[in-house]
Amino acid sequence: GYMTLVLGLSELAPALALLEKFTSDRDIVPGLQHIWFTGSELRASTGVSGVIVGVSWSVPEPFALPAGRLTALVSSLHAQGHARVALEPREASFKFASEKFQASLPRYRPAEGEDLGPYVLRRPPAKNGRTALTPAWWADLSRALPCMSADETKAPLRGVRWAKTGALYATDTYRLTAVLPEKSARALPPGAGVLLPDHLLSRVGARRVGVTEACVEGDAALWLFAPDGAFYGTLIAGDFPEEGCATFVRQARRASAEGGTWVELPAAPVALASVLERLLHFAEAPTYRLGGEARAGALRLFVGNEAGSAEEVLPATVRGPDVSFEVNGEYLREALLTVAPKFWIPGSAGGNAAYFASADGRVDHLVMLLRA
């Protein structure tokens, strides 16, 4: 029943580049190393997350080809300016040809008893119960992404918590971000809240702004729908400390209104980025310890260790008593450049985090201070 398929590379190349991110190189389930052609869809799965991409053509019966090699060939031919490729079925392979190039790609046959239903061939849930999402909502979510934990031992922190209030939280225990999307873009999650897992968000990447709907399937998977396809990912087990995050933010807001010291730097991000970059050449991983002293009109930042020392004094508006502190310089840099060039340090009354609030009032960000 097969016939030769002629496929346009301008459609196929970007689709495969996305699909390949959703394939696995582990040998345990060989089917996950392949891209599946089924009906008018292309599919791939890592086992924990997967993707379905709609295409403008259709195949009479499903087949699967090795993801890495297929993607590399298509990408190379597309970059060279080829317009299309032909796939011609053989007994155990496909002939792959474009102009003067041709290759043979082995066809994957699932082993007996290999059930691909939960993985590659998974069907999306029915249309009811989906939550609408906008590009503005995704832009707000991206403000929480830098704080997601990358620590394998802290699974419940490896994502962004979408709270039932519509707020978004992320923390790696050293930093915490809370984002409240603007009213027009605010979306309430399915159920009582959901952790948007990093393994899905990172693979969807920049494509997430095209995602218009989300839903949860049972207590097992999160689905994201775009006009041309869908993404799904296994939900992470364990409880994200949503209550604790909300409490920390409330406490910081209150404390910053009552005491401590506010430090505001001139909003010249290029200069600020350069200053911090220079100082961080002297700071040592993993804590990148950076000292700070704020007093009337100035913020002195300094680094000193066996590898040398450096300091710079920046003009600053300082409201509150003189204060000194130590902080992870990488985290300070990121917060000053992405949240606000202004921060609050708790005074002698206690508190163990620097607090940043964005000018639009939608992002609260905390960075743990380092103990001397």
Spell out a b/e string for 289-299, using b for 16 or more CB atoms within 10 Å of the CB, else e: bbbbebeeeeb
Q: Report which DSSP code applies to 123.
A: P
pLDDT for res 29: 79
Residue 2: per-residue pLDDT: 62
Are 88 and 107 in contact by the 8 Å Cβ rule? The answer is no
Question: Looking at residue 278, what DSSP letter applies?
Answer: H
Q: How far is CA 214 from the centre of its chain?
A: 16
Do 302 and 291 form a contact (C-beta atoms < 8 A)?
Answer: yes
**d(C-alpha 352, C-alpha 347), whole Å:** 10
Q: Which amino acid is at 315?
A: P
Amino acid of residue 245: C
- Please report where in the chains the tokens 């992320």 appear, as a residue: 170
Give the pTM.
Answer: 0.92
Phi, psi of 225 (to 5 degrees): -115, 135
Q: How many CB atoms lie within 10 A of CB 242?
A: 20
Q: How many CA atoms within 13 Å lie on the side-chain side of 328?
A: 15
What single DSSP character describes residue 52?
Answer: E
Sheet of 363-368, strands arranged across: 193-197, 159-163, 168-171, 175-179, 363-368, 353-357, 342-345, 261-264, 317-319
SS3 149: coil
Task: Kindly give the parts of the chain with pLDDT less than 70.
Answer: 1-2, 27, 349
Cα-to-chain-centroid distance, residue 357? 22
